């Protein structure tokens, strides 16, 4: 699953009844969807999903690092499943050249062998509450946006304090529907998380970047962690005296098998969708956000790959960084393509005409909503050059060379005003430089700063660009910078922090201050237009909801994803695609005569991909480990083979509505049992965060039987199988 400034309008939401397969629904309101769920095959009750009076499914589903991915409890002893790509950073962080867990995998045979993961947290939702009336009680229409936000922030902070005082809870107030609704979310957060198991990268990332977002897939995308608590069961930082969590609720696992058309629901923490934007905002996403991301990351990825291909150490250091950058580079390419294919701009114009016709039909509506769309359009037009600069700043400077983020981190750590004050910078240096290469970072600086200069109006150049010009250009400046700054060398770093009063005069810190000042200048100039757009959006959303409710009092709305827990429900389902795929498809999953993609793949064709890509530049991505090859060839599948197919289902499709943050989410059948883990969307429907396409949009899931097979037969970690409640 890092998306910038976005909210977009879903055409299907506007023109038809909400489909069962579309929507990311708030758990406390799921009762409104219950009849649809039952009709699709859900056999439990809304109370089984979300309850504050007794344990329920919400108590088994957690946010990894407050929304980066989703995890689920699968045993009474705090055992968690998530995706391999979600655990990728932890595996890389704990790996060395001698113990390379990315390459070799990792299997703890006892509690004592489970490895603490520095910094990882797991967040469980305790309860949620609609606090709209409380938050907006003191807000008036005459307030400026700044005044309005100040009032909302003050009341929200008070509500958070009331909810957490005297407890070990964390809480936050989250905006829904562009500021028309607010919810308080209360969490219990665990901080001692340990790595338990993971397959090697050759399985967990089988197919690499070539297969990313593609169907069919055969990827064993899972990793295993465990929550530890203080002996009394309370959340606690790492201690050797901590014990495995006594789970309040955990998901039973079904290996009975599934069929096309079976009910499937996904619970998780989707990060960000944009289903309610206007035409002008979609253009901004396509022409600024996506186009700039594609251009900058293509340059960045080429540089990283050139070094990673030459040096195993650099490959290990930058594997997680490369994967993170590549993911949404490819996503942005697909999203722009699909927004054009679906003629989204044309359809949105129809929606906006319908809205304005409704507004003009009533003087009161015209007075309140008549200028909403114009405010959005004007704000984006007048701030276009600033928006381009801001996107280039984020991609080429902030997410470019690491020296910038490192310097900003040090500033925060040394500032009495910053939350990081008092941080152990020696510990930080050891962790940072373990995965840093000076030459790689210097090349990123030279090439990405050049891109910024070539594509951004000079009104938004950092002041340091004058120094760069005087010193002979980017390469000459970088040679001097990286040779002298304490930020680019561990020994210099450790020496510098012993006398931090001299740190701020370092050339790397001066560089960071210069580019940070530029960001604030852009933001300050753009603020009035952001405020205008925000007000226009709030009024448009308020009016649009009123219009739809007037047309259909039973119409169901779901808010855009914002890293709060949601449920999406649908079925296991394939799809038709008229165009011949330009990537390799296996015989189990695609019918070239009908152009139908079946909703499952099987382990028998795992080796087909290896054979197909043999001798190509992608051979490494499709190399099957010898042990797995033997298990496949001997059909040593144990109890995990599908009873009808006589083989193991590796991955399957559902029509559930997910986005980034849902990675690792549990796929649950109608009886509340785990049948798989969500890990990707399909390439034909990359427009999903902006518009749900029911014909094509699918969620790619790893089958839980494939996961258990790999734990049991490949990893031979039988104790974990015994921990779980497996339904045959």
What residues act catalytically? 85, 221, 663
Residues of the chain by 3-state class (helix, strand, coil), percent to 5:
50, 15, 35
DSSP string computed for 18-38: PPTTS--EEGGGGGGGHHHHH
Instruction: Find out whether 42 and 670 touch, Cβ atoms under 8 Å.
Output: yes
Category of 66 on φ-ψ map: left (φ > 0), alpha (ψ -120 to 50) or beta: left
How many other CB atoms are found less than 10 A from the CB of residue 25?
A: 24
Helices 402-414/425-433 angle, 10° precision: 170
Helices 507-551/384-392 angle, 10° precision: 130
Give the Cα separation of 474 and 470 in Å (integer): 10
Task: Residue count of the chain, please give it.
Answer: 728
Alpha helices in 497-618 (DSSP H): 507-551, 606-613
193 forms bridges with which residues in the sheet? 227
Give the Cα separation of 266 and 679 in Å (integer): 11
Element (DSSP H or E) covering residue 339: helix 312-341
Tokens (6 digits) for 726: 């497996």
DSSP string computed for 245-256: ---S----EE-S
CA distances (Å), origin 194, targets 110, 115, 400, 422: 12, 5, 31, 26
Give the Cα separation of 675 and 108 in Å (integer): 24
Tokens (6 digits) for 659: 């986005």
Give the Cα separation of 473 and 465 in Å (integer): 9
């Amino acid at each position: 699953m890092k998306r910038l400034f976005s909210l977009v309008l879903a055409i299907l939401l506007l023109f038809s009844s909400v489909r069962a397969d579309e929507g990311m629904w708030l758990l406390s309101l799921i009762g409104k969807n219950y009849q649809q769920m039952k009709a699709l095959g859900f056999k439990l009750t809304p109370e089984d999903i979300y309850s504050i009076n007794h344990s329920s499914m919400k108590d088994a589903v957690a946010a990894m690092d407050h929304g980066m991915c989703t995890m689920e409890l699968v045993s009474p002893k705090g055992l968690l499943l998530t995706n391999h790509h979600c655990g990728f950073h932890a595996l890389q962080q704990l790996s060395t050249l001698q113990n390379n867990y990315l390459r070799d995998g990792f299997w703890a045979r006892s509690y004592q062998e489970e490895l603490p993961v520095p910094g990882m947290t797991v967040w469980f939702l305790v309860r949620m509450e609609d606090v709209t009336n409380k938050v907006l009680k003191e807000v008036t229409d005459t307030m400026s946006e700044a005044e309005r936000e100040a009032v909302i922030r003050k009341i929200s902070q008070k509500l958070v304090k009331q909810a957490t005082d005297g407890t070990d809870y964390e809480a936050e107030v989250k905006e829904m529907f562009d500021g028309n609704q607010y919810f308080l979310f209360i969490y219990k957060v665990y901080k001692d998380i340990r790595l338990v198991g993971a397959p090697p990268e050759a399985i967990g990332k089988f197919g690499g970047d070539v297969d990313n977002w593609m169907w069919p897939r055969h990827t064993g995308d899972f990793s295993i962690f465990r929550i530890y608590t203080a002996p009394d069961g309370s959340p606690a930082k790492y201690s050797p005296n901590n014990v495995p969590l006594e789970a309040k609720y955990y998901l039973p696992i079904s290996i009975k098998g599934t069929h096309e058309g079976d009910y499937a629901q996904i619970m998780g923490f989707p990060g960000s969708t944009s289903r309610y934007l206007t035409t002008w905002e979609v253009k901004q996403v396509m022409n600024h956000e996506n186009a700039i991301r594609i251009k900058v990351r293509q340059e960045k990825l080429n540089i990283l790959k050139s070094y990673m291909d030459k040096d195993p150490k650099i490959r290990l250091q930058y594997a997680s960084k490369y994967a993170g950058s590549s993911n949404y580079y490819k996503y942005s390419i697909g999203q722009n393509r699909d927004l054009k294919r679906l003629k989204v701009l044309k359809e949105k114009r129809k929606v906006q005409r319908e809205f304005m016709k409704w507004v003009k039909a009533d003087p009161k509506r015209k007075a309140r909503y008549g200028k909403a769309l114009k405010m959005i359009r004007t704000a984006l037009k007048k701030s276009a050059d600033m928006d381009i600069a801001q996107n280039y700043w984020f991609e080429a400077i902030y997410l470019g060379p690491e020296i910038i983020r490192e310097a900003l981190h040090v500033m925060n750590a040394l500032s009495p005003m910053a939350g990081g004050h008092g941080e152990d910078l020696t510990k930080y240096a050891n962790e940072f430089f373990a995965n840093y290469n000076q030459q790689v970072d210097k090349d990123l600086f030279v090439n990405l700063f050049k891109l910024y200069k070539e594509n951004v109006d000079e009104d938004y150049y950092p002041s340091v660009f004058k120094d760069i010009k005087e010193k002979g250009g980017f390469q000459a400046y970088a040679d001097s910078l990286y040779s002298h700054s304490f930020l680019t060398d561990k020994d210099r770093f450790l020496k510098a922090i012993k006398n931090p009063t001299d740190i701020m005069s370092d050339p790397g810190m001066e560089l960071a201050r210069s580019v940070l000042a530029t960001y604030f200048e852009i933001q300050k100039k753009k603020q009035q237009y952001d405020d205008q757009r925000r007000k226009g959006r709030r009024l448009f959303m308020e009016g649009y909801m009123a219009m739809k409710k007037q047309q259909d009092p039973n119409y169901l709305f779901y808010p855009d994803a914002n890293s709060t827990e949601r449920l999406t429900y649908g079925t296991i389902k394939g799809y038709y695609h008229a165009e011949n795929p330009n990537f390799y498809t296996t015989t189990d999953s695609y019918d070239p005569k009908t152009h139908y993609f079946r909703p499952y793949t099987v382990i028998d064709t795992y080796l087909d991909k290896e054979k197909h890509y043999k001798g190509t530049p992608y051979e490494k991505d499709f190399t099957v480990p010898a042990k797995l090859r033997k298990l496949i060839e001997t059909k040593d599948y144990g109890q995990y083979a599908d009873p009808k197919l006589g083989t193991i289902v590796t991955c399957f499709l559902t029509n559930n509505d997910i986005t980034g943050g849902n990675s690792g989410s549990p796929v649950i059948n109608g009886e509340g049992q785990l049948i798989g883990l969500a890990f990707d969307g399909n390439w034909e429907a990359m427009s999903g965060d902006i518009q749900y396409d029911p014909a094509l949009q699918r969620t790619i899931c790893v089958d839980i039987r494939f996961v258990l097979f790999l734990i049991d037969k490949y990893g031979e970690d039988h104790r974990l199988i015994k921990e779980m409640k497996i339904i045959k």
